[in-house]
Chains A and B, each alone.
Chain A
């Protein structure tokens, strides 16, 4: 699978920190590569061409809690860590530009990996409720923004 080589290339810093590949799932046009360290889980996902990154808590996942209670998208994590100052936009380029998507996400993750390991790792229970609340707020904001784009007749750039 070429994607494993891409992940090892762009996310090499994770492997240097002890991460290893945990799982691979492949469906038509989409895939998920799961990574794990002793502290947290990281999923790199291709949703029909759009590459996404999320981090999850190991205990939560092992207890078989609902997926969305254990994992958080990089956008939610950065918004939470930056106390609402940084909003990670979805990739706006051509989805066929996989290298650009990998590069962009790897840079964001490298900038926040230390905080993410603490928040999603050992201090997860302390942050869990606030992370869920942050995601809820972001969903509402994204939906509101998309409604404005639709009103203006420009739905090509932002998604709900």
Chain B
């Protein structure tokens, strides 16, 4: 099992919760959506090693969830920008031909899977 899998909570959900801390985390826990949360101090260790290590694990998490044909919701909460933590995730979805951004009442930005399930 790789680190991205270890950090994946509620893997059975069809929706992935992303966005600003703590909103993506709270929504994932409260609503049972899939969310990403590295165990213990592993985030700190990865970040100290270099941003590319954080990005690699984050990218793997996204690929796993996109391959599972899930929908993705971003929460901004009190902020006006998603920020560095979610930029990669947002960009992967914008560039993917399997996803379309659609309005959603529960999330600020929502990407629906439009490929073949």
Confirm or deny: B105 has a beta carbon within 8 angstroms of a beta carbon on chain A.
no
List, in ascending order, chain B residues with CB within 8 A of A84's CB: none
Contacts of B21 in A (CB 8 A): 27, 30, 32, 45-48
A72 to B76, CA, bound (A): 11
A54 engages B78 (CB within 8 Å)? yes
A28 touches B43 (CB 8 A): yes
Which residues does B use to contact A, with CB under 8 Å? 20-23, 25, 37-44, 47-48, 51, 54, 76-87, 90-91, 94-95, 108-109
Q: Are B42 and A75 in contact (CB under 8 A)?
A: no
Determine the distance from Cα of A105 to Cα of B47 in the docked complex, in whole angstroms.
Answer: 21
Complex-state Cα separation, A27 to B80, whole angstroms: 22
Number of residues from A at the complex interface, CB < 8 A: 35
Q: How far is the CA of A75 from the CA of B108 in the complex (A)?
A: 18
Which residues 29-76 of A sit at the B interface, judged by CB distance below 8 A? Answer: 29-30, 32, 45-50, 52, 54, 56, 67-68, 71-73, 75-76
CB of A75 within 8 A of CB of B37, answer no
Verify B85–A47 contact, CB threshold 8 A. Answer: yes
Is A155's CB within 8 Å of the partner chain B?
yes
User: Which secondary structure dominates where chain A touches chain B?
Assistant: mixed
Nearest neighbor of A52 in chain B, beta-carbon distance: B79
Given contacts A28-B42, A49-B47, A96-B48, contact A76 B80 (CB under 8 A): yes
Is A160 an interface residue when CB atoms closer than 8 A count as contact?
yes
Question: A95 contacts which of B37, B77, B81, B84 (Cβ < 8 Å)?
Answer: B84
Min CB–CB distance A31 → chain B (angstroms): 9
CA distance A142 to B90 in the complex (A): 13
Tell yes or no: A130 within 8 A of B by CB: no
Asked if A139 is at the interface of the complex by the 8 Å CB criterion, the answer is yes
Contact of B78 among A29, A30, A73, A95 (CB under 8 A): A73
Chain B residues with CB under 8 A of A90: 81, 83-84
Q: Judging by beta carbons under 8 Å apart, are A25 and B22 in contact? A: yes
**Chain B nearest Cβ from A103, distance in angstroms:** 18
Report yes or no: B81 in contact with A67, Cβ–Cβ below 8 A: no
Name which residue of chain B comes closest to A79, CB basis.
B80
Q: Which residues of B contact A52 (CB under 8 A)?
A: 79, 83
Question: Which of chain B's residues have a CB closer than 8 A to the CB of A56?
Answer: 78
